[in-house]
Amino acid sequence: MESQYQTRTFIQGDEMKLGRLFNKAHDWYVGFVPRTEDYWRWCCLNRPDVSREGIIIVEEKTNREIIGYTVVGKSGNVWELCVDPNVDRKYVVSVLLENAVSYLRKVNADQMVLNVPSDDLVMQLACGKMDFFELPPDQMFVGITDFEALVGALAENVRDRLGNFRETVTFRLLNARSWINPVFSVRIDGEVQVFENAVPSGFSIEVDSDVLAAILLGNTNPFTAVLRGKLKVNPFWKFRKAMSLLNALQIHNSWFYSLADYG
């Protein structure tokens, strides 16, 4: 296995490949900034505590394709660690972690901290094997500033899953903050159209803005919101349609962010 891969540090020109690998490795997750070449350069390479020796790369010997990398800061933070999902991740993860520890010992850092996806057993096993201990994870808080744009984008994104759903829906947000538009409509037909006000619609959904945020962000089940009287569908007989729409719009992916995403 070892002979198949080799380890090196960052060289100019790697930025785009590393950004692409990051996006590929985190394809299933949401909640992070998708890496572009410029963003990665700013976020990792130009970060004050990162030097080129702290960016450790594992590549295939034959075609020099990058299959894993980590960005380690002198502060002890592992800003990014990711591995191509199509290779032997177990080996690559342990090589990256071992190299990161050696680098941090060399720069006299007193600790090493990293974020790992909670459903990535390979990474967790590697951390356990290297005697890492678990800390409570940092919490992420999200606020929606433009509901109609988000609902429109989510509807567009799940258009196929909505099947034969063809309706115009009006959302009436209760207790909306001053920067939020309290009434908007979405027409879902062959395409998705968003209106910044109420238009004649098949049904309306009346809901507290915080509750709708929790539903869309995957924290609350729409049905539970109805049972608790926090969401009303008018006319009520369109209730099932409203539930199927909200279920489809809900973000079901896991939220994951590496330390570099904290800014």
Partner 1 sequence: MVEKMYKYRLFLPQDSDAVRGLVKAAFPNFLEGDYWDWKHFNNPQFDPSIVVVSEKDGEIVGCSHWLKGNIKIGSDLVVGSFLTCDLAVKPEQRGRGIARELLLQRRTRETFRSRGIVVNYDFADPRLAKRLYTPLLGYTKVGVAVKKYAKVLNWKRLIDFVSNEDAGRILLRRFPKLRELNLSICFKSKSAPPLTLRFMNGKIEATENEPSDVHILVEADLRVLVSVFEAKHVMTQLLKAVFQRKIKIKGKFLKLYEVTQNFGLLKTVLRVISTPEPDFFSHAQTPKYKVRTFEDGDEIEIVRLFDKAYADYGGFVPRDPKYWLWCCLQRPGVVREGIFVVVDENDNSVVGYAVAGKWGNIWELCYDPAHDVETVVGMLLGETTRYLESMEAASVSFNAVEEDSALLKVCNKFGFEALISPRMYLSILDTRGVVALLADGKREELIRYFDEAILVKLKDVPAWVKDTLFVRIDRNGVYVDENVHPYTILVKTDFTTFSSLLAGVLTPSAAVAQSKLEVEPFRKTSTAIKLLSYLQFDAKWFFPMSDYG
Tokens 């020099």 belong to residue: 64
Cα-based angle 173, 178, 181 (whole degrees, multiple of 5)? 45
- Contacting range for partner 1; rule: CB under 8 A; set: 21-29, 162-170, 198-206, 228-236: 21-29
CB 223 within 8 A of CB 211: no
Contacting partner 1 within 184-213 (CB under 8 A) = 209-210, 213
Three-state secondary structure call for residue 238: helix
6, 9, 60, 182: which one binds partner 1 (CB under 8 A): 182
Give φ, ψ of 144 to 5 degrees: -95, 125
Binding mask 66-105 for partner 1 (x = CB under 8 A): -------x-xx------------------------x--xx
CA-only gyration radius of the chain, Å? 23
Strand partners, 82: 69
- Is the Cβ of residue 70 or residue 75 nearer to partner 1 in the bound state? 75
18, 21, 93, 112: which one binds partner 1 (CB under 8 A): 112
Strands 78-83 and 167-174: unpaired
CB of 61 to partner 1, least distance (A): 29
* Burial class of residue 259 in the structure, from the number of CB atoms within 10 Å of its CB (0-12 exposed, 13-18 middle, 19+ buried): middle
| Residue 133 touching partner 1 (CB under 8 A) | yes
Three-state secondary structure call for residue 91: helix
- Contacting range for partner 1; rule: CB under 8 A; set: 12-20, 162-170, 172-180, 222-230: 172-180
CB 19 within 8 A of CB 35: yes
- Is the Cβ of residue 59 or residue 220 nearer to partner 1 in the bound state? 220
4, 140, 161, 236: which one binds partner 1 (CB under 8 A): 140
Contacting partner 1 within 142-171 (CB under 8 A) = 142-146, 149-150, 153-154, 157-158
Contacting partner 1 within 236-255 (CB under 8 A) = 251, 253-255
Nearest partner of 249 among 159, 142, 166, judged by Cα: 159
Number of residues engaging partner 1 in binding (CB under 8 A): 81
| Residue 224 touching partner 1 (CB under 8 A) | no
CB of 31 to partner 1, least distance (A): 7
- Is the Cβ of residue 76 or residue 85 nearer to partner 1 in the bound state? 76
Give φ, ψ of 241 to 5 degrees: -65, -40
CB 199 within 8 A of CB 187: yes
| Residue 32 touching partner 1 (CB under 8 A) | yes
